[in-house]
Amino acid sequence: MISGGGTGGHIYPAIAIANAFKARFDDAEILFVGAEGKMEMQKVPEAGYKIIGLWISGLQRRLTFDNLLFPVKLVNSLSKSAGIIRRFRPHAVVGVGGYASGPLLRVASRKGIPAVIQEQNSYAGLTNKLLAKKVQKICVAYPGMEQFFPANKIAFTGNPVRKDIVDLAGKKEAALKHFDLSDAPVLMILGGSLGARTLNDSMVLGLEKLKAEGVQVIWQCGKFYHAEMKQKLEASGDAKGILLFEFLKEMDLAYAAADVVISRAGALSVSELSIAAKPTIFVPSPNVAEDHQTKNAKALVDNDAAILVKDVEARDRLIDEAIALIHNQEKQERLSEKIKALAKPNAANEIVDEILKLIA
């Protein structure tokens, strides 16, 4: 049983763990538990798995009606979790972070069911910190997580990512053909599935510079900004080689085509870019809990494995930094080598190994 979600950074690792388990045990029964109304309720069934929703949400930082309802939601979710566990009778439960993992893992631990946490970030989330004493194993993606969790429970596995990203060798030519791009330099901009206002604004402000330098662009702007960015791109005149996407489905080909990447610093993006070994400029989002993204990015920047541009500086500096990196082949190669050294390409299988140790 796998629980958690709320964002792609929780959901896609959860699905990767399920896929790795299924690949080893074809007859395994896997049930997901998520939060009603959150994106996992759509994404998990699309991946071929059953999911049950809990009536649960997080606490807001201000007094809201949802906050007043939180105790009622928590009691309801604990009760429903107990019923789900009683009927499904799991051999083990895995929590990937997010609202729903709290009640389910709490009930499972009370019943003596082996429980595993998968923490994606370099700064542990509140739910996982609260659950740490109750579970048997904590799979982490960054070194130094003893500051949050008991050292004897930690396994340094990395974050699970999609299988097609693990091996990009030989895909460059096919990728350029797929996107109808030439062999001129390619910049990829990733703002996440919802998009990032700062990255999109920076791109609009830097369009003429990129065109003048002959840089091609694969630009994922997110669903909230697609109509606006499409209009601005069309208004800029000739936009040959500037490819705008609401969402990128063929991520392996996009990574293969890209020479340099600009990205937010969510845990999943950091892990994918490490495995893809792409020279990357991270622009951490300032709008996430406990500034997770800055901490994720700094873990790489401190190892000379990436470049960091602060969100508040991006509109002035970002595109200039990207163009400078595109023209510096030696720095690209160094960043690529350093970021690849931090990659954990077998994370999903290593997490499955840890689960099996508990249920063997």
Provide the annotated binding site.
7-9, 121, 162, 193, 267-272, 293
Find the DSSP H helices in the chain: 8-24, 40-46, 65-88, 101-110, 126-131, 163-166, 172-178, 197-212, 226-235, 251-257, 267-276, 292-301, 314-326, 329-341, 347-359
What residues pair up with 35 in beta bridges, in sequence order? 54
Distance CA 290, CA 121 (A): 11
Is the separation of the CB atoms in 278 and 258 below 8 Å? yes
Distance CA 223, CA 247 (A): 7
Is the separation of the CB atoms in 85 and 62 below 8 Å? no
**CA nearest 144: which of 272, 296, 266?**
296
Is the separation of the CB atoms in 222 and 201 below 8 Å? no
SS3 97: coil
Between the alpha carbon of residue 138 and those of residues 152, 287, 339, 343, 346, the distances in Å are 9, 26, 24, 19, 16
Angle (CA) 137-106-144 rounded to 5° is 35
First and final C-alpha spacing in the chain:
16
List binding-site positions for UDP-N-acetyl-alpha-D-glucosamine.
7-9, 121, 162, 193, 267-272, 293
Is the separation of the CB atoms in 164 and 252 below 8 Å? yes
Between the alpha carbon of residue 115 and those of residues 106, 112, 296, the distances in Å are 9, 9, 25
Is the separation of the CB atoms in 280 and 340 below 8 Å? no
